[in-house]
Amino acid sequence: MPFSTFGLSPSIVIQLINNNYEHPYPIQKEAIPAILEGKDVLGIAKTGSGKTASYVLPILTNLQGQTRTKNRHVNVLVLVPTRELAGQVKDVFQQFGSTLPDRVKTIAVFGGVSINTQMQAMQNVNVLVATPGRLLELVESNAVHLSSISALVLDEADKMLNLGFKSEMDKIFNLLPKKRQNLLFSATLSEDVNTINQVLLDNPAVIKIASEENNIDLINQSAYYIDEDKKGPLLRYLIKHNNMQQVLVFTSSTYKADNVADKLRKNGIDASAIHSKKSQSARTDALRNFKNGSIRVLVATDLLARGIDIEFLPVVINYELPRSPKDYIHRIGRTGRADTPGDAITIVTPEDEHHFKIIQKKMKKWVDRVACDNLDLKHY
């Protein structure tokens, strides 16, 4: 079923074709028609399953002919848990909204940057992507009004609740008009998420997409066993020898992320690190450059990587092992998306071997071991 059969705006279909998006992901097949029909939607799908486009494309289509709003009123509100996700969602709206007949203005607002600039940008906004705390600050400053919202999206609702945003979310819900479309997306259907579902959603279309654990077979996993002092040369060898072009590398600390990225750059591999100690602008730039191919390698910690939503990520490398088997599955689940096989490589030192055995046991899958004895790493 191609995108052209859904009833999306023709300019969006052309953009999809030009960007080589030929076939919708499973969540898009079900969510797009439901949203176009004005139904509420409950979507349970992991990060990177294509969920962002599953609501962006039909919302943009539905907004055609309805883009005029009163001053400082918005049509669509998208609530997200992190700054990184806010920026990414805004970029998708802007990418597919750029050629529409009726212009759709999208902005993202979040903490960590000046509120004054965001207040000034609130003129004639159609789609507002926001973190809960900053949105309430803008509401209290009368910079934005929520009484004209026609559609509400909660993206990564489970994470918003886990980060303690429940009270802010409740305040926001009370400011919205009763008649609106509600779209709730979450990686898991926790008790708290289900409570929101029962309170907010009216007879929703329920869409559940297989979890990462069920998709492990799509991922080509391999493990390289090597001494600690050879990890850096091995990483650079793997990237250069295999001509890898888009690689997400995981470390366990911010210090190590910076160190690995620095050594990659010194050896002629374009790389950036992304972690909590980086400024917001530095994180945004690194993510944008990674997505558009300006840099080959993004080195990330687990915490920051949770907000990275990139489709068709071909390679994930565990430079350091995560603490838990669950985090390992979450990491490698970044590749092998939507029936597209990907590669997950883990570098294992002698100190890591016992922990990696536990991870494999919990995963119920043994990872192929690659011999490193014959690798010539002298020049890496």
How confident is the model over 78-93, as a mean pLDDT?
Answer: 89
Q: For position 136, what pLDDT does the model report?
A: 95
Phi, psi of 280, deg, nearest 5: -60, -40
Do 3-208 and 212-370 fold alike per CATH? yes
Q: Is the dihedral of CA 124, 128, 134, 137 positive or negative?
A: positive
230 in Cβ contact with 353 (< 8 Å): no
3-208 CATH fold: Rossmann fold (3.40.50)
Phi, psi of 179, deg, nearest 5: -90, 110
Strands, DSSP E only, in the chain? 41-44, 76-79, 106-109, 127-130, 151-155, 181-186, 205-208, 219-225, 247-251, 271-274, 297-301, 315-318, 342-348, 368-370
Q: What percent of the chain clears pLDDT 70, i.e. is strictly above it?
A: 92
pLDDT band at 305 (very low <50, low <70, confident <90, very high): low
Indicate the domain borders of the chain: 3-208, 212-370
pLDDT band at 295 (very low <50, low <70, confident <90, very high): very high
pLDDT for 180-207, tens place per residue? 999 999 887 777 778 787 878 889 999 9
Q: For position 143, what pLDDT does the model report?
A: 92
Q: For position 311, what pLDDT does the model report?
A: 58
Q: For position 47, what pLDDT does the model report?
A: 66
Average pLDDT, the chain: 87
As a residue count, the chain comes to 380
pLDDT band at 303 (very low <50, low <70, confident <90, very high): low
Opening angle at CA 51, ends 10 and 315, nearest 5: 110
On the question of pLDDT at 307 being above 60, the answer is no
pLDDT band at 376 (very low <50, low <70, confident <90, very high): confident
The region of weakest confidence among 34-43, 102-111, 333-342 is 333-342
pLDDT for 126-137, tens place per residue? 999 999 999 999
How confident is the model over 53-70, as a mean pLDDT?
Answer: 88
On the question of pLDDT at 304 being above 80, the answer is no
CATH class of 212-370: alpha beta
335 in Cβ contact with 300 (< 8 Å): no
Angle of helix 83-97 relative to helix 51-63, nearest 10 degrees, comes to 50
Site of tokens 């838990």 = 324
How confident is the model over 20-45, as a mean pLDDT?
Answer: 88
Q: For position 51, what pLDDT does the model report?
A: 86
